[in-house]
A and B are shown apart, each in its own frame.
Chain A
Amino acid sequence: MNIEQILDTFLRHSPALIVAIPLLGAFLTPLISKINEKARNAFVIITILATNFFIFLLASDVFAGNIHTYVFGARNISTPLVRILFEVDGLSAFMIIIAGILSLAAVIYSWSFMKENTGLDKFYTLMLLMTAGMLGMMLTGDMFNFFVFLEITSIASCALIAFWTNKGKAVEAGFKYITISAIGALFVLFAIALLYAQYDALNIAVLANNIQYTFLDKIALVVLIAALAMKAGIVPMHMWLPDAYGRAPASVTLLLVGATQASLYGVFRVCFTLYGKRLGTTIAGSIGEGISLYILLGTILVILAIVTILIGVMMALKQIDFKRMIAYAAVAEIGYMFLAVGAGLTTLGTAVSMNAIKGGIFHIINDALDVGLLFLVAGAIYYATKQTSLNNMGGLARNMKYTTVFFLIGLLAVSGMPPLNGFASKILIYESVYQVNPVLSIVAILCSILLLAVFIKVFHSAFLGPEQPDLKDVKEVPKSMLLAMGLIACIIVFFGLFPEMVVNNIVQPAANALASNMNYISQVTGVI
């Protein structure tokens, strides 16, 4: 076998391997940690690197225009479809790239950040499990499998949030998170059961092909959107998010950002693919006579998004705890994605819609990187000073030069300042949403300015100013943490400087996959 054949074999099996390698690594970690700590850390990093290799192999092929399917336990898709099936289109490939980058940075960061803790073999096991769950949610083409991966992600992340069990608040945040996610996931299962009862199928493509938009389908749609939006942190169901983000170790928070976006992916998948064939249905009700479903759904998403952006930013402005503040800003950022995709949904089929969806999807990766970088900086400050409240900080820029630079990059990127990546996606959102409704765009820009104000507050009170007496001997954080932050910062600057290349090569296929769902359906069912 020459190298091309090997790569081809790898490519064919990569959807399964992307989930299987972290899973295998997760269960090998407790055994390997018997050797010594360094071997375990290196093993975990190698596992994630191998996963990333397969992710990029798969993504590069999917972005070239192919849709990959992988049937477990059989060579080909057979009818009737009873097997578990992974289906990877542009959007899934885009999302797994995000998850891959985030998990790599999180694992590198944990090397020094978690060094002083005990029970780290369990920490890394859970981290790899969470990565596997996230990747599974993004890759799967089966509704029930989606639920299983959703639960794997929530259980692993809950245990990680409460990892610092000596802190009461952390345990409490973990309890809140598991309550919320258990209820959300159970309602998702309920909706899946409703769909299964009618169409005798669990595969997303088969369901999407058969869906009729009956009354039960409406209930399923409501439950799916509400539960997944709660997991994505949409206002007014966002309150678990500052608790969980604020109390978790920083590297876990980075992964939680990915988990939140996996739920966001779920919302988009449900709206655009699962109900994609019925988006043109006109509603035959007494009040909304003649409105098409896509306008109704898009309007709902836009309303949720505007509320999310406004409240997220306003609450962020008031926070004093560093990580809680970033968490509220992350809530607002999720709102931007909802806004763009919702606006794209209301004008489905036009050029404006395509630009809006492109902006929304581009913003997903930008938000993950920007907010993730800020969380890592917050973790670095906690590592160096053991403080979380902004009131106890000041003048940190004197001793933590690299961290300050990374924070500045994250600050400018997340608040949409040129020339970083946040600006590139936000200008796409502003301009396309303006054509849908100018008011939406104005609110979005205003809140973006407020977001800048939020982080200027942090920058001023934590990094600038005179040196505080009890922070005199603060040192720069260890190299592995700087490496993780630098990795993300480099990607941010690269995306900021060459946005057109990123949009053309990565975002455009994902937007196409979202806007035209028929390829996704016909790949499995053979119907065109």
Chain B
Amino acid sequence: MISIDTLLETFKTGSGLWNPLVWITGLAIAFLIAYILRGYGKKEYKEKTEQTKSFLSGNPEYEKEQMHIKGSNVYWGFMESLRWFYKIFNKMHTGLVTDYVLWFVIVMGILFLLIGVI
């Protein structure tokens, strides 16, 4: 069966190395340090007062269920700034089966130019 030494071997990538077990140990130590630092935090805040209420730039707070950011609203700014890109690619993705075949023919033609003619 597999011996323990082969399991613990370091993963060599040709120009570097990677050992998940060492990494996990490091991560655990980092968590430990963070936990210790957390212990130094202030404890004397008062619950159910202004201190724990969320502040939404002065806007009134809605119910929790309505505050959820839906899937299509995530990364709104990113989509907005790349609108030109998505305009092109939405035009490409027509969803018609005939266009799918057309793309296949086009790619075959390009590959033929690259491999067959050159």
Residue positions of A touching B, CB distance < 8 A: 175-176, 179-180, 183-184, 187, 215, 218-219, 221-223, 225-227, 229-230, 236-237, 239-240, 243, 283, 285-288, 291, 296-297, 300, 311, 314-315, 317-318, 320, 351-352, 354-355, 359, 389-391, 393-395, 418-419, 423-424, 427-428, 431-432, 435, 453, 457-458, 460-462, 465-469, 496-501, 503-504
Residue on B nearest A418 in the bound complex, by CB: B23
Residue positions of B touching A, CB distance < 8 A: 2, 6-7, 9-16, 18, 20-21, 23-24, 64-65, 67-72, 74-75, 78-79, 82, 85-86, 89, 92-93, 95, 97, 99-101, 103-104, 106-108, 111-112, 114-118
Cα-based distance from A432 to B79 in the complex (angstroms): 32
Smallest distance from the beta carbon of A53 to chain B beta carbons, Å? 18
Would A239 and B95 count as touching, CB distance under 8 A?
Answer: yes
Cα-based distance from A467 to B117 in the complex (angstroms): 61
- Across the interface, B69 reaches (CB within 8 A) one of A219, A351, A461, A469, namely A461
The total number of A-B Cβ pairs within 8 Å is 166
Residues of the B chain whose Cβ atoms lie less than 8 Å from the Cβ of A287 = 117-118
Pick the most buried of B69, B71, B79: most chain A CB atoms within 10 A of its CB. Answer: B71
* Extra inter-chain contacts (13) besides given A317-B78, A318-B86, A351-B14, CB under 8 Å: A176-B97, A179-B100, A226-B107, A297-B115, A317-B75, A355-B13, A419-B20, A424-B11, A424-B20, A461-B68, A466-B68, A499-B18, A503-B11
Residues of the B chain whose Cβ atoms lie less than 8 Å from the Cβ of A285 = 117-118
Smallest distance from the beta carbon of B91 to chain A beta carbons, Å? 12
Residues of the B chain whose Cβ atoms lie less than 8 Å from the Cβ of A176 = 97, 100
Would B112 and A469 count as touching, CB distance under 8 A?
Answer: no
Q: What are 13 contact pairs spanning A and B, CB under 8 A?
A: A218-B115, A222-B112, A226-B107, A226-B108, A283-B118, A311-B89, A317-B79, A355-B13, A424-B20, A428-B13, A461-B69, A469-B65, A501-B2
Residues of the B chain whose Cβ atoms lie less than 8 Å from the Cβ of A315 = 89, 93
Contacts A183-B104, A355-B14, A431-B16 given; does A300 touch B71 at CB 8 Å: no
Residues of the A chain whose Cβ atoms lie less than 8 Å from the Cβ of B95 = 239, 243
Would A225 and B111 count as touching, CB distance under 8 A?
Answer: yes
The 3 A-B pairs of least Cβ separation, nearest first, read A390-B71, A419-B20, A288-B118
Residues of the B chain whose Cβ atoms lie less than 8 Å from the Cβ of A239 = 93, 95, 99-100, 103
Would A390 and B70 count as touching, CB distance under 8 A?
Answer: yes
Cα-based distance from A317 to B81 in the complex (angstroms): 13
Cα-based distance from A306 to B60 in the complex (angstroms): 47
Contacts A222-B112, A394-B68 given; does A236 touch B103 at CB 8 Å: yes
Cα-based distance from A238 to B87 in the complex (angstroms): 18
Residues of the A chain whose Cβ atoms lie less than 8 Å from the Cβ of B117 = 285, 287
Residues of the B chain whose Cβ atoms lie less than 8 Å from the Cβ of A180 = 97, 100-101, 104
Cα-based distance from A427 to B18 in the complex (angstroms): 9
Residues of the B chain whose Cβ atoms lie less than 8 Å from the Cβ of A497 = 20-21, 24
Smallest distance from the beta carbon of B31 to chain A beta carbons, Å? 14
Residues of the B chain whose Cβ atoms lie less than 8 Å from the Cβ of A219 = 112, 116
Would B13 and A431 count as touching, CB distance under 8 A?
Answer: yes
Cα-based distance from A118 to B59 in the complex (angstroms): 53
- Across the interface, B75 reaches (CB within 8 A) one of A179, A283, A359, A457, namely A457
- Across the interface, B14 reaches (CB within 8 A) one of A187, A431, A466, A501, namely A431
Contacts A391-B70, A499-B11 given; does A296 touch B20 at CB 8 Å: no
- Across the interface, B9 reaches (CB within 8 A) one of A467, A468, A501, namely A501
Residues of the A chain whose Cβ atoms lie less than 8 Å from the Cβ of B101 = 179-180, 183
Residues of the A chain whose Cβ atoms lie less than 8 Å from the Cβ of B71 = 320, 389-391, 393, 457-458, 461-462
Residue on A nearest B27 in the bound complex, by CB: A419
Smallest distance from the beta carbon of B113 to chain A beta carbons, Å? 9
Would A431 and B15 count as touching, CB distance under 8 A?
Answer: yes
Would B15 and A226 count as touching, CB distance under 8 A?
Answer: no
Contacts A219-B112, A285-B118 given; does A390 touch B89 at CB 8 Å: no
Cα-based distance from A296 to B117 in the complex (angstroms): 12
Would A390 and B72 count as touching, CB distance under 8 A?
Answer: yes
Would A466 and B20 count as touching, CB distance under 8 A?
Answer: no
Smallest distance from the beta carbon of B6 to chain A beta carbons, Å? 5
